[in-house]
Structure 1
Amino acid sequence: MHYTTVILGAGAAGMMCAAHAGGSVLVVDHAKAPGEKIRISGGGRCNFTNMHCTPDAFICANPHFAKSALARYTQWDFIELVDAHGITWHEKTLGQLFCDISAKQIVAMLHALMQKSGVDLHLNSSLEGIEKTDIGFKMTLIGPDGGTPVTVTADHLVIASGGKSIPKMGATGRAYDIANQFGIPVTPTRAGLVPFTFTDARFAPISGTAVPARVTAGDTTFDEALLFTHRGLSGPAILQASSYWDEGTEITLNILPSNDLLVKLREQRQIYGRRNFTTELAQHLPGRLVDHLANQFDLTGNLADWSDARLQTLCDTLSNWTMTPTGTEGYRTAEVTLGGIDTNALSSKTMETKTIPRLYFIGESVDVTGWLGGYNFQWAWSSAMAAARDIAKP
């Protein structure tokens, strides 16, 4: 069988590319269904893009690499596509867009676009023995029944098999193996957008407690919710910070991001000075968290016993609460993979490798990682379109 394009991976990037590449297209995936990560994303509603998507929201060894693809296929382009298919959506917070009904609508839309373009989709299948030929690529397609292998040739080969995150969904890191085979450099990878862990289970007693917070890792700070868990710390602010955290380094929590606790406690002292300090502090922080803090810091006495200096010291402490995570939960729960195919080896306009003509890498496999909140899906759409448009050009 010969195809204009063979795409490895039926996820967000692979399906998007297949739907727009033109010519004859074969998509191969070892999963039982296409778009499985789309289906489970956003609590089943798929945070499919972000209204504020800019290159500044992406981590890459080359901070300029993502600019071209993101500019040539924007969040507004994808929103227009979603609208055209009658999928209703809403903005949740911080520009995050979700389907009103179900993430399955995004999968169905992409699948419909693929069918309209005559794309062949082989699931429960794999590509083996990939090799470069004088005119394209040659590989072996092994179907779900493990029957007779079929030789497949293609003019173009697109690797859209993702990274290592969430292996229970089928992630394997196959893209990096293919890159190594063809001499394409791969930057070190690690789990991103992932909860922090502590071996002492210090936050287990307050697991499930959430607060607004400002979390800093390295030189980067995020203001969103923080969630205490049995294993450590999670929530949007933590997931965001994890992508900027280096193992063995501190993170800083500010659980008083509004910075008005001192004023409020001083006002309460005038009226409720005889009340227990922790009782009054619990007016501003969850009671379970106050109990936990009482085990960490001296919160004894009535509110009247607390001087301005003592109140200031506590507020400073809770605004600059430093700790060193033991690690993260790793790829098991990570939403993305940091690192990947070295962008210096790719064209920023087409995603084609510079040394192997007609070989493309798109989506999560590439060393481009977005913030939490729809940015990584937008990278999938944008990088897929960059490759598809190059393949489809006359």
Structure 2
Amino acid sequence: MRQTSYFHTVIIGAGAAGMMCAARTGQGGKSVALLDHAVKIGEKIRISGGGRCNFTNRNLNGHDGSPYYVSQQPRFVRYALSRYTAQDFMHLLDKYGIAYHEKHKGQMFCDDSAQAVVEMLQNECRLGSVTWYTGCTVESLTALPIAPAGYEQARFGINTDQGLFYCRNLVIATGGLAVPAVGASPFGYEVAKQFGHHIIPPEAALVPLRFEKWAEQGFDTLSGIALPVRISTGSGKQAVVFDEDLLFRHKGLSGPAVLQISSYWQPGRHIMVNLVPDTDLAEVLCRDKVGKKIQLKTALKQLCPVLPERLIDFWLGREPFQAVAGQKWADIPNALLQQLGQSLNHWTVLPTGSDGHKKAEVTRGGVDVKEINPKTMQSKQCEGLYFIGEVMDVTGWLGGYNFQWAWASAVCAAEALRADEHI
């Protein structure tokens, strides 16, 4: 005979958002079951930040956090992020004696293994008497038109390979499509559609980009080169700009600069890379050449110390600069120097695509947040149904913003669940 259980709240997805929501709801005195199809929990936390978990960003300090997020409705994040800040999560780490540090631009990392964050969340769940069901496959779930006898508070039924669960509240915390190797799936989107929600088409975000004829043009020979750049896409008020590091790869471009811009890039749109930020190279090359006996390559090395020599050699080996690469700087026509400066300050490339969900850190798109209450994370379409974390159309910048959204949206939902008068 199959086991039948009732819980005030069932949460599907035991990742960052799911564990946080389960812990906070359970500590509020509600019975909570946490279901996940994986046997090993918290893998995405464990592999993040090079194994040190970039768990939040200091910039999310309770003020308007919406500029750091991509969404059809970016203001949706404001309430939750103001209620649970980066400092709040760091206080939780302090409670457990987990050491951390700021690495770059407010990005907070564990000093040691990300496993400590997983264990902290698991312990918080124990404090909330959360019941775990790992390796648990959901076969179907339904909204109950009439509560079964003996389970009068139930609004949902969930059939799994580990039994039948009835619950008053159902929380979907199953994430997006990024990193399928650790269990990502479209399950959350399918549930949302079942209950009448619209889905903003999911796409890979925070992901390396690829380019046509990359190897034919010789750019593959630059693989391994990294340098600080200014990268942008769009124009006018729609322009998005980041100052970050760029990494050349055999198959395209990566590094923080490209991962950031990938969340905003649209197919068919160019990306502009300034390889020498804060220097008008065309002007300097023409202005300072007078009387100089050094060769053009030497001049570039002096004017642009940030440019690796291998990149300078490659650039001067391209047409039309190849013919003057060995000439004296002073003898080169201004028109050619201006063209060289422009090519380095305004290198324009057209991506043909990305490495996809397999290499992406997060998913852009998801459940349309217009249909979710920003103060509770409850569905406007179905009472008792909640969505938290990455499954929604909320994508943070690189650097801890997505984890903070997971924590904040989870706490927001948990507060609403704890306030429920029913048991």
Give TM class, smaller chain.
Answer: over 0.9
Query: Is 1:68 aligned to 2:79, yes or no?
Result: yes
Which SS does the other structure have where 2:109 is aligned? strand
Native 8 Å contact 2:282 2:342 kept in 1: no
List aligned pairs for 1:311-330, cutoff 5 A: 311-330=337-356
Native 8 Å contact 1:222 1:237 kept in 2: yes
Offset of 1:180 from its aligned partner? Answer: 1.1
What is the letter of the counterpart of residue 86 of structure 1? G
Offset of 1:265 from its aligned partner? Answer: 5.5
Native 8 Å contact 2:280 2:345 kept in 1: no
Cα shift readout 1:234-277 (whole Å, capped 9, x = no counterpart): 01111111111110111101011131656876798578x44332
CA distance in 2, matches of 1:85, 1:267: 59
Match of 1:298 among 312, 317, 320: 320
What is the letter of the counterpart of residue 18 of structure 1? A
Native 8 Å contact 2:281 2:345 kept in 1: no
Native 8 Å contact 1:217 1:242 kept in 2: no
What is the letter of the counterpart of residue 228 of structure 1? F
CA distance in 1, matches of 2:187, 2:318: 46
Aligned residue number for residue 131 of structure 1: 142
List aligned pairs for 1:54-93, cutoff 5 A: 54-93=65-104
What is the letter of the counterpart of residue 255 of structure 1? L
What is the letter of the counterpart of residue 122 of structure 1? Y
Query: What RMSD over aligned residues (CA atoms) do the two structures have, in Å?
Result: 1.8
List aligned pairs for 1:45-56, cutoff 5 A: 45-53=52-60, 54-56=65-67
Native 8 Å contact 1:212 1:223 kept in 2: yes
Aligned residue number for residue 183 of structure 1: 196
Native 8 Å contact 2:283 2:338 kept in 1: no
Aligned residue number for residue 119 of structure 2: 108
Distance 1:21 1:315, change over 3 A: same
Q: Runs of 5+ in structure 2 lacking a partner?
A: 147-153
Query: Is 1:195 aligned to 2:217, yes or no?
Result: no
Offset of 1:296 from its aligned partner? Answer: 3.0
CA distance in 2, matches of 1:276, 1:206: 23
Native 8 Å contact 1:47 1:98 kept in 2: yes
Query: Is 1:289 aligned to 2:311, yes or no?
Result: yes
Match of 2:107 among 84, 96, 102: 96
Aligned residue number for residue 151 of structure 2: none
The count of corresponding residues between Structure 1 and Structure 2 is: 387
Offset of 1:101 from its aligned partner? Answer: 0.7
CA distance in 1, matches of 2:187, 2:101: 35
Aligned residue number for residue 39 of structure 1: 46
Aligned residue number for residue 341 of structure 1: 367
Aligned residue number for residue 8 of structure 2: 4
CA distance in 1, matches of 2:313, 2:38: 47
CA distance in 2, matches of 1:162, 1:223: 28
Which SS does the other structure have where 2:177 is aligned? coil
Q: Runs of 5+ in structure 1 lacking a partner?
A: 144-149
**TM-score for both structures, normalised by structure 2:** 0.87
Offset of 1:115 from its aligned partner? Answer: 1.1
**TM-score for both structures, normalised by structure 1:** 0.94
